[in-house]
Amino acid sequence: MLPRTLEPEVMDTLQEAIDYDAMNHREVNRAFVDDLLAEAARTEGGVRFYDKGNPHVLDVGTGTAQIPIELCRRSAICHVTGVDLAGEMLQLGRQNIERAGLINRVRLERADAKDLTFPDGTYDVVMSNSIVHHIAEPLKVLAQMVRLLRPGGLLFVRDLLRPPDVETVEQIVQTYAGEENPHQQKMFRESLHAALTLDDIRGLLSDLNVPPSWAEQTSDRHWTISGHSER
């Protein structure tokens, strides 16, 4: 098995932010929101995104706010707080939110995902896409996500799955980032090396008394945690 090689926790140069924001995330972001909304709809008495209520969503590691924007375009009643430690990412994110006309529904805060200050049980939904692999001690981030979820709330976390060998890494890079520039390919490659395996993430959930079965492999390069907390 390919060993985990850590990458910098925060991508906080202007060039990194620009290159990340410019990469083609549309299909991945749309699939993330599709699956999030499907999971919410599947659970009787769970979070409602369309017909009633005012679901409050926390996006951990929001980057340039692409997923909060996609979610708010699909649900007219939700509000999203996005947190990230990368100031340059958040600056671009605020510009994206303004262009999308969502400044009243999406707010961004600079915060360390390992040490968030929101009260326990604040959010109806805690979601995250591709932050876990950036964290040297991902248990700390997952613990915050679980803590902030209200009873009956939805936890939905997706991240990269570490491939078994270098050859598979290169195959995935060429398949999904082959048309990106060399720096963007490098970022993706390093992220794959830093990612967790399915066994890794299930072990962390077990440590938090969260059912390990909530984590499943959901594509050739992703695992997903999906489940509702107990009421």
| Domain locations along the chain | 14-228
Report how far residue 217's alpha carbon sits from residue 225's, in angstroms, rounded to the nearest whole number: 9
CB burial string 113-131: b at 16+ within 10 A, e below = bbebeeeeebbbbbbbbbb
Q: Identify the pLDDT of residue 43.
A: 76
Instruction: Answer yes or no: pTM beyond 0.75.
Output: yes
Q: Identify the pLDDT of residue 17.
A: 61
Q: Identify the pLDDT of residue 74.
A: 95
Classify domain 14-228 at the CATH superfamily level. Vaccinia Virus protein VP39 (3.40.50.150)
Report how far residue 31's alpha carbon sits from residue 33's, in angstroms, rounded to the nearest whole number: 5
Per-residue pLDDT of the chain (231 residues; tens, 9 = 90+): 899 999 876 666 667 666 666 665 788 899 999 999 999 988 777 788 987 778 999 999 999 999 999 999 999 999 999 999 999 889 999 999 999 999 999 999 999 999 999 999 999 999 999 999 999 999 999 999 999 999 999 999 999 999 999 999 999 999 999 999 898 899 899 999 999 999 999 999 999 999 999 999 999 999 999 999 987
Strands 215-217 and 56-60: unpaired
